[in-house]
Amino acid sequence: MLRPVDFPLHATYDRFFDLHWRLERRDGAVEAVGLVEATRVDGIAEVTLELRGLDGAGRVISRALGRTYGGRLPRWGTRPFAVTLRPAGYENRFELRVWSYVWEGSRDRGTRGGGH
């Protein structure tokens, strides 16, 4: 079982989540593989993540979405995710962020970071 410390990249996202991941490059794709950790909230059903490729000027030139899997995300719990992006070919860097999340038992989606 993977733990947050098993990943080289970490970010605190908003007031709810910590992200732990690594980037893997293979076969013309970049994949972010990791864990979402609910460090400050309980009752999240699902988290959607966005992997973005940025050019040298910081413009987003490619993006892909992926979701957590494994069920409900209790406080202090983690759920795995994978987001696969087909780069445009001239990205300088990649960023991962929370796109949206769904509260357990709700049809309402919380959006952060420009999610729709």
Distance CA 93, CA 108 (A): 32
Distance CA 80, CA 77 (A): 10
CATH number, position 51: 2.60.40
Q: pLDDT (tens digit, 9 = 90+) per residue, 5-24?
A: 999 999 997 778 999 999 99
Q: What is the pLDDT of residue 116?
A: 34
Whether residue 49 lies inside any domain: the answer is yes
Q: Name the token pair of 58.
A: 């910081």
Q: pLDDT (tens digit, 9 = 90+) per residue, 74-115?
A: 999 999 999 999 999 999 999 999 999 999 876 555 655 544
Whether residue 115 lies inside any domain: the answer is no
Q: What is the mean pLDDT of residues 23-33?
A: 94
Place of tokens 């050019």: 55
The residue that leads in pLDDT, 29 or 104, is: 29
Count up the domains in the chain and report the number. Answer: 1
Query: 19-33: string of b/e by CB count within 10 Å (b at 16+)?
Result: bbbebeeeeeebbbb
Q: What is the mean pLDDT of residues 26-37?
A: 94
For 1, the 3-state DSSP assignment is: coil
Distance CA 40, CA 107 (A): 21
Place of tokens 């490059």: 25
Instruction: Tell me how crowded residue 75 is: count the other CB atoms within 10 A of its CB.
Output: 13
For residue 115, the 8-state DSSP code is: -
Q: Which domain holds residue 8?
A: 4-104
Over its C-alpha atoms, the chain yields an Rg (Å, rounded) of 14
Decide if pLDDT at 64 tops 90: yes
pTM of the entire predicted model:
0.86
